[in-house]
Structure 1
Amino acid sequence: MNNDLDYGLDLADQLLILLREAAQGCSEYQLIQQLKARHSTHIPHLPLTDKLVLFRTHFLLFNALYRLRERLWSEQAGHLQISALHIQLLPYQTGSVGLSEHDPLRDYYLDLHHLRDTREEDVEKLLTSFWKRMQGGDEKQAALELLGLDTSPEALNLATIKRRYRELVSLHHPDRGGSTSRLQSLNQAMEILERYY
């Protein structure tokens, strides 16, 4: 295996190569490390201990992932599941586009003004906000209640949450007579809970 990625490829194409090699998916950190190891020129090769470098690296990666996801959808060539903890290339399934019509994260990462205009103090605020959300709060509680889950922390794990989410999606999917708005609420609740678990 060649350890250098083709310099003619843009970052989205380089990520597609790496994700095809990782059938079970990988984390954002693993992708960044693989890009660095393969000498990609599309991300900063600086320590991620600097908050602004970390933000810019993260932003560039997610911008490329969302561009890749849209390209794969339009070509009906696959579906890209994107979160910071797990990124995975999945086979294309008809209807998967409709499950996430409006995605605020997609909008954020595809707007390059955020990359250009974000300063170090902005990154500090983003990190503070992130850690507050990770400690729990009203949004987490509401998401758990929407899925009808026991809210005692020791009774919950991601596998249990995903199992309940799949049950409810199956029950409320519009193709099976369910409501689109209910399905969107379930998707949003799952996105919230993935941040905590």
Structure 2
Amino acid sequence: MTDNDFRRNPFHPRAVDEDTCLEQQIQHLLVAVEHELRSAPAGMNELSLIKVLQKPPWELLGDVVFSEPEKLYPVHFLLFHVLYRLRDQLSETGESLRISPLTIRIETQAVVGGEGVPDSVDTLRQFYLDLSQYRLPDEAIQQMMDDFWAGAPGQAPAQSETRQAAETLGFTAIPPDFPTVKQRFRRAVMRAHPDRGGKTETIQHLNQAFSVLKAHFRHSI
């Protein structure tokens, strides 16, 4: 039986053993993530947090291949699972956690609505707290990523997140229209391409910013 086979079968003995190890890793990540976020009051983005968790003293995440969705997905899912669990814990002390790929930050006052109230209707929270989603087969992960980049329906991003996405693409303010975003995005990706000395992580940042602005203009229509 291959790794993919037992990932698809949650009742296989290897899957049960993996569940135990996974929960232990989650508990370690909860401690590490809270520590790092409290050490960064202004918050950090997802990629920065992943890199911190890869390094000593934590070393809780292995190598991440940002250019391959099926390899990036488990790390992304696990991190966001931990973030939503941490947000629920913080709510008990009157704190909240802003969660998005561009901004992850502990806030001293609970955010109104789905971003900060654990018992409100929050489809993202429901998804990331369901650990069965961690072991999706590769084809399902690829389809999910294809839907995401194609602009699958969702909630409009917060204004602060939209402004930050615009800055990531080099704008000083939210651009007036989506064609302007696409033009700037193409130029930025070309400059950041590894063949020109750029980094894959930079392209991932640009992709995230582009998706936020795409969602912004989709909901503005």
TM-score (norm 2): 0.54
- Residue pair 2:81, 2:129 contacting (<8 A) in 1 also: yes
Q: Which residue of 1 aligns with 2:126?
A: 107
Q: Which residue of 1 aligns with 2:72?
A: 54
Structure 2 residue runs without a partner (length 5+): 1-24, 158-173, 179-210, 217-221
Question: What secondary structure is seen at the aligned counterpart in 2 of 1:130?
Answer: helix
Partner Cα separation in structure 1 for residue 112 and residue 156 of structure 2: 24
Structure 1 residue runs without a partner (length 5+): 1-6, 145-152, 158-191
Question: What secondary structure is seen at the aligned counterpart in 1 of 2:37?
Answer: helix
Identical aligned residues as a percent: 27
Alpha-carbon offset, residue 120 of structure 1: 1.2
Alpha-carbon offset, residue 143 of structure 1: 5.8
Q: Which residue of 1 aligns with 2:38?
A: 20
Alpha-carbon offset, residue 41 of structure 1: 4.7
Alpha-carbon offset, residue 94 of structure 1: 8.5
Alpha-carbon offset, residue 49 of structure 1: 3.4
Partner Cα separation in structure 1 for residue 43 and residue 143 of structure 2: 30
Question: What secondary structure is seen at the aligned counterpart in 1 of 2:150?
Answer: helix
CA separation of 1:35 and 1:73: change in aligned 2, threshold 3 A: same
Report runs of 4+ in structure 1 exceeding 2 Å deviation. Answer: 38-53, 92-100, 153-157, 192-197
Deviations 1:115-142 (A, max 9, x none): 02x01111111111111118xxxx58x9
TM-score (norm 1): 0.60
Instruction: Supply the AA of the counterpart residue of 1:59.
Output: F
Residue 108 of structure 2, aligned match among 91, 97, 103? 91
Deviations 1:53-108 (A, max 9, x none): 200000110000000000000232x2100011111111134867559711100000
Question: What secondary structure is seen at the aligned counterpart in 1 of 2:106?
Answer: strand
